């Protein structure tokens, strides 16, 4: 059952209400977005489920701390490299079920699977000999201590008498 809006005669004087038009526009946009974002693949290939881990970078006065969220990636498939102040994390998250006769129809576990590479160029020099990386519960934590030359220095101000 569809409800029709009551129409005024063409020559009737109707008080204009801008909020009525805004409400109609909002309903149309809601409908558009719901149709767009509710799309689901009916048949999918491995390429449609590419995995890209989340990357968070924090800075303290002494170090940078990088978190890469990569659940389901085994330690042997995770690689960390630091070169020219650029941290690169690469690896592969494999499908839970693999084989010739296995076809994924729908995968919603945080972006799917596949090979990935994420890089971040750090804005300060790093002491490469003190870098530590720990992978626990699907999150890689990389601590990158700043080189002494990159740490902020306090300057003592002398006053003349």
Q: How far is the C-alpha of 34 from the C-alpha of 56, rounded, in Å?
A: 30
Most confident of 29-33, 57-61, 147-151: 57-61
pLDDT of 44:
47
Residue 148: phi, psi to the nearest 5? -55, -35
Residue 77, pLDDT > 50, answer: yes
Collapsed DSSP state (helix, strand, coil) of residue 97: coil
- What is the chain's mean pLDDT, rounded? 81
For residue 66, give the 3-state DSSP assignment: strand
Q: Which domains does the chain have, with CATH numbers?
A: 46-148 (2.60.40.790)
Q: How far apart are CA 148 and CA 2, in angstroms?
A: 72
Beta bridge partners of 143: 65, 132
Q: For tokens 């490469």, what's the residue?
A: 128
Residue 116 pLDDT more than 80? Answer: yes
Give the model confidence (pLDDT) of 32-67 as tens digits: 777 766 655 444 444 445 778 889 999 999 999 999
């Amino acid at each position: 059952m569809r409800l029709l809006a009551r129409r005024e005669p063409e020559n009737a004087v109707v008080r204009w209400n801008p909020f009525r038009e805004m409400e109609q526009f909002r309903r149309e946009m809601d409908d558009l977005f719901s149709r767009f974002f509710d799309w689901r693949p009916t048949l999918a290939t491995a390429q449609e489920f590419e995995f890209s881990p989340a990357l968070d970078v924090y800075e303290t006065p002494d170090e940078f701390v990088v978190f890469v969220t990569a659940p389901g990636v085994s330690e042997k498939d995770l690689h960390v490299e630091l070169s020219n102040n650029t941290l690169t994390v690469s690896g592969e998250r494999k499908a839970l079920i693999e084989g010739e006769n296995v076809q994924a129809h729908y995968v919603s576990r945080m972006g799917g699977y596949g090979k990935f590479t994420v890089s971040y160029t750090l804005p300060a020099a790093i002491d490469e000999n003190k870098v530590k990386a720990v992978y626990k519960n699907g999150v890689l934590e990389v601590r990158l201590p700043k080189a002494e030359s990159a740490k902020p220095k306090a300057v003592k101000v002398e006053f003349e008498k």
